[in-house]
A and B are shown apart, each in its own frame.
Chain A
Amino acid sequence: MTSEPFGDLIDRCRAAEDDLVRRWRADVAASLRGRISELELDKELRELLDAVLSAVATADGADTRSAAYGEVRALLVDLSRARALQGFSPRETAISVFALKRAVRESVEVGPEFTAFSDVIDELGLFTFESYAKTREEVIANQAEQLLELATPVVKLWHGVVALPLVGTLDSARAQVVMEKLLQTLVDTGSEYAIIDITGVPAVDTQVAQHLLKTIVAARLMGAECIISGIRPQIAQTIVALGIEFGDIATKATLADALLLALGRIGVDVTAEMSKRGL
């Protein structure tokens, strides 16, 4: 059953399986420093070893891209995914695979056929690292998306008045999301006034101002009016120094002032409204 390049290495590995897994586990456990339980690790490695040995024993044993390695690849994807999500470093992940080489060398008498086996392990190690990197990229992409959503809530302040509290730096990508979300909310809620609060924006440069102006002009085209609020003294100085013109766009120092302005323009009588609701 053993294929040519590996001689009877596979059979000898099978015979020494317990000793092999013990050494392998010891090596891996040392690098993971107890962040995974021995029992869990033992199960994981035993499963992997079994799959690797079965795959190597097939006719295409030397080619890790062959169908025989399907199960091994699936196990390695699971392993690297789990490691990436648990926050292990690339080295700690890769060592789980590469340590198998040493374990085999130490627990089994090896001859020249070990080179072929070593090549297979190297391939598998690289594959593990690749899928580890892929998982990490997915995690980062997810976080970036979540952050984008988190950072752009549109809140309703009154019937027909919505507010957009901006927190954090406005770059082009974010400005685009903010713009689309605000305009969509205007349509969905039928609001005629939007207050853009920039208290949480650390700096206003010409680019940020440009984004704000575009949003406001687009809102006007749709029939809604925007008010900018939360302009801090330093920001006001920057705006003047940069020569940014807000034109006839209403600007207010605080969100409260902006809300008052919007309510006034709609013609809401706050006290009458409160007594109507029994407050």
Chain B
Amino acid sequence: MERLPILKIGQMLLVSIQVDLRDDMVVALQEDLAERIVETGARGVVIDITALDIVDSFTGRMLATIAALSRVLDAETVVVGMRPAVAITLVELGLSLDGIKTALDVERGIRLLSPAGGAAR
């Protein structure tokens, strides 16, 4: 099965979703991510969904689950690069992803998670 790569940058993990998500990939990602957070002691997770142009309620719930999971493991999640169409769809679906931080791009997301940047926002 295809797995999404999880990259470690300093104290952060970066997941960039570049392909169409299948449900089994999402489940695998959640497991892998939990393992990697524990393994690396990461303090933040950046999920880049710039390339994602179709979302459904399952994808929306995945983001919420990952955020909840990271929070339990003392890591913060930032979702970055959401496209307007995706944002509109999620709002229409009634998923406002409360408690998840968001940023316009990866750079801003990383800045948001780094100790100095987090305070500015």
Chain A interface residues toward B at CB < 8 A: 179-180, 183-184, 186-187, 190-192, 214, 217-224, 265, 267
Contact B80 A223 (CB under 8 A): yes
How far, in angstroms, from A97 to B120 measured CA to CA in the complex?
74
Contact A221 B102 (CB under 8 A): yes
Q: Which chain A residues lie closer than 8 Å to B91 at the CB level? A: 214, 217-218, 221
How far, in angstroms, from A138 to B103 measured CA to CA in the complex?
42
Cβ-neighbour of A223 out of B96, B108, B120 (below 8 A): B108
Q: Mark out the residues of chain B between 73 and 111 whose CB falls within 8 Å of any chain A CB in the assembled complex.
A: 79-80, 82-84, 86-88, 90-92, 96-97, 102-105, 108-109
Supposing A183-B87, A187-B84, A217-B91 touch, asked if A222 and B105 sit within 8 A by C-beta, the answer is no
Supposing A186-B104, A221-B96 touch, asked if A180 and B88 sit within 8 A by C-beta, the answer is yes
Contact A179 B104 (CB under 8 A): no
Interface majority SS (helix, strand, loop, mixed), chain A: helix
Contact A179 B88 (CB under 8 A): yes
Interface size on B, residues (CB 8 A): 21
Q: How far is the CB of A275 from chain B (nearest CB, A)?
A: 23
Q: Which chain B residues lie closer than 8 Å to A222 at the CB level? A: 82-84, 87, 102, 104
Q: How far is the CB of B53 from chain A (nearest CB, A)?
A: 13
Task: For the complex of A and B, list the 10 residue pairs with the smallest distance between their C-beta atoms, beginning with the closest.
Answer: A183-B84, A223-B103, A223-B102, A218-B87, A221-B87, A223-B104, A222-B82, A218-B91, A217-B96, A222-B87
Q: How far is the CB of A147 from chain B (nearest CB, A)?
A: 22
Q: Which chain A residues lie closer than 8 Å to B87 at the CB level? A: 183, 218-219, 221-222
How far, in angstroms, from A190 to B103 measured CA to CA in the complex?
10
| CB nearest neighbor in B for A187 | B84
How far, in angstroms, from A48 to B37 measured CA to CA in the complex?
82
